[in-house]
Each structure stands twice: as C-alpha cells, then as structure tokens.
Amino acid sequence: MNDPIAQLALWIEETGGFGAIDAVAMCLATADGAGNPSARIVLLRGLDQRGLRFFTSYESRKGRELAENPHAAALLYWPKLERQVRVEGLVARLGEEESDAYFAARPRGHRIAAWASEQSEPMESEAILEDRFAHFEARFEEDNVPRPHSWGGYLLTPSRVEFWHGRPNRMHQRIEYVRSAAQWQAFLLQP
C-alpha cells in the first residue's frame, strides 16, 4: 500500500476501530521551545488525508508546548498484534467549527469537566476541583454546554510515518513513508 494514512486506518479498524480505546490510544510527544521533551497518552479522535486529530486544553502543558514548538511525534502500539505506528510532523490548531462539532458530541460530564479543570495546573485539593465541577454543572443546568475558548482540536500533519510489525527472531518488518511534496515515498528499514 502506498498510502500510509489508509494503512493506519486499516490497522485501527483491525484493532477495534475508533470506538475502542485500545485501538486509538496514542502516545503524543511534544517539546517546549528549549527542546525539553514530554509525552503522554491522548486519544486519536480523527484520521483523514489531512492527518491525525486530537483534542485538549490549549492551556495544558502539551498545548503550551505546541504553541512554542509545533513539531510533535505520536506512537500507536498494539502489543497483541505486535504492531506499532510512529508518526512525525507539524501540529496546528483545528478550526473553530471542527472543534465546536467535536465538543458538542462529547458526553455532558466531559464538557463540564473542560470548564472545571485548568488542565496541568497545580491544585490545593480535589475538593476544589469537585466544587468547580459542581459550579459549572449548575451554571449550565438547562443550557447546552458551550466549548470553552481554551479548549479545542489539533491536527498532526504527518511528514514521516513508520509501520513496525514484529516477527520471529527480531526480523521485524519496518516500512517508513516520507512525504515528498504531495506524495509519499516508501522505504524498507532494517530491523
């Protein structure tokens, strides 16, 4: 297959599809402006020819790092199938409409939590967070919960994608795709 996005979509489908957390949990690695790295698990919430989509607080640590340094890497790993996919590229915020549409589809409690939590910030106690949640639950009791302006989506546009498939005797299959202009070039890599 000469299309790494289609191949990634196929592997996700074979592991349970977008409805299965194990299929779409990915490690997202970012770095601040000084190059200090950090990584965490996020959920892949969309995939198309533009790239990979995930959502978070713009003011979280990853959001701040992406504002300083828009380069990121992601890793999806399915140990039972001995498969992993590495993705590298530039990250940019999604448009307001796409972020609004995804936010509106989230469960109500998740939407309220986006208002209550100042993601990645220190807190004195869990009770304060619970009080904030209760405050916003009451504030939006009868109203639709709008998307906070500090929360939204990102698009990771791949410039490099590597598929790894485990094989006996560590003779793993590795195929790397590198974007060249508007097309992909594929290379076999030694294990």
- Residue 170: give its domain's CATH number: 2.30.110.10
Q: For residue 60, give Cα distances in angstroms to 2, 38, 76.
A: 36, 12, 22
Q: Is 170 a catalytic residue?
A: yes
How many structural domains is the chain composed of? 1
114, 151 in Cβ contact below 8 A?
Answer: yes
Separation CA 147–CA 35 (nearest Å): 31
Task: Name the catalytic one among 50, 170, 174, 179.
Answer: 170
Quick check: pTM over 0.75?
yes
Would you state the pLDDT for residue 141? 83
Q: Is residue 113 part of a domain?
A: no
Q: Which domain holds residue 163?
A: 4-106+149-189
78, 15 in Cβ contact below 8 A?
Answer: yes
Question: pLDDT tens, 3-60?
Answer: 999 999 999 999 999 999 999 999 999 999 999 999 999 999 999 999 999 999 999 9
53, 141 in Cβ contact below 8 A?
Answer: no
User: 19: part of which helix (H) or strand (E)?
Assistant: none
Q: Is residue 124 part of a domain?
A: no
